[in-house]
Amino acid sequence: ETGVTQTPRHLVMGMTNKKSLKCEQHLGHNAMYWYKQSAKKPLELMFVYNFKEQTENNSVPSRFSPECPNSSHLFLHLHTLQPEDSALYLCASSQENTQYFGPGTRLTVL
Amino acid sequence: GIQVEQSPPDLILQEGANSTLRCNFSDSVNNLQWFHQNPWGQLINLFYIPSGTKQNGRLSATTVATERYSLLYISSSQTTDSGVYFCAVVTGGFKTIFGAGTRLFVKA
């Protein structure tokens, strides 16, 4: 599905770097989500924004900092990450019920 | 919190076979979706099905909310059906919980 785009698709970063993941949805939805998918684990909800307001923060460490400037864009700012943060980070959007996912950013922390 | 359990964890089918995947959840939910994750990581919506039965081509799904389970049926499986199938439930607000998935491999 091309309604939700994510950049970059792949990212390798050191533990001292600062980087940002970007998500954009072209579906006119009001809610946007960040998920983390680690190997051998279910998708974990990180954050939800509805009409730019954060409605869910699933006890995510402060080294992950979300930003939602408008209903179409969602960022995840990363700093001083750990190797165990290496995972596929997925963005989704929804209007009421059905969530639509982007292709993900595969993050490797060295 | 709510628990979501999927079975079986792994499934190998011969092309053309039928299968049933199950999702059990431990509490009432507002919303249930089935997704297929392809080998490149893309999650594709299959069904939004908090209750009742829906069909889309070779796939169908049934959710019995009062008994807290949902079933995904795949008929006449094809190699392109391979991947991981997830169910996800939404409790209050936007809180979404995914099951661990069923990894399906369809052999030619």
For the stretch A29-49, pLDDT in tens is 999 999 999 987 889 999 999
At residue A104, does pLDDT exceed 80? yes
Q: Determine the pLDDT at residue B1.
A: 85
Q: Determine the pLDDT at residue B91.
A: 84
Nearest C-alpha neighbor of A43 from the set B88, B16, B45, B66: B88
For residues A53-62, average pLDDT: 90
Q: Which residue has the higher pLDDT, A55 or B92?
A: A55
Nearest CA in chain B to A35: B96
Gap from B77 CA to chain A (nearest CA, Å): 22
Q: Determine the pLDDT at residue A12.
A: 96
Instruction: Kindly tell me the sign of the dihedral angle through the C-alpha atoms of B92, B35, A69, A109.
Output: positive
Whole-number percent of chain A with pLDDT over 70: 99
- Scanning the structure block, which residue is given the tokens 């970063």? A13
Q: Determine the pLDDT at residue A58.
A: 87
Q: Determine the pLDDT at residue A4.
A: 97
Residue by residue, pLDDT tens for chain B (108 residues) are 889 999 999 999 999 999 999 999 999 988 999 999 998 889 999 999 999 999 999 999 999 999 999 999 999 999 999 999 999 999 878 999 999 999 999 999
Residue B51 near residue B61 (C-beta atoms within 8 A): no
> Cβ–Cβ of A101/B86 closer than 8 Å?
no
> Cβ–Cβ of A98/B48 closer than 8 Å?
yes
* Interface probe with B: pick from A99, A106, A107, most Cβ of B within 10 Å: A99
Q: For residue B48, list chain A residues with Cβ-Cβ distance below 8 A.
A: 97-98
For residues A58-69, average pLDDT: 94
Nearest C-alpha neighbor of A34 from the set A42, A19, A26, A44: A44
What CA–CA distance (Å, rounded) separates A13 from B63? 43
Q: Determine the pLDDT at residue A41.
A: 84
Nearest C-alpha neighbor of A102 from the set A43, A54, A17: A43
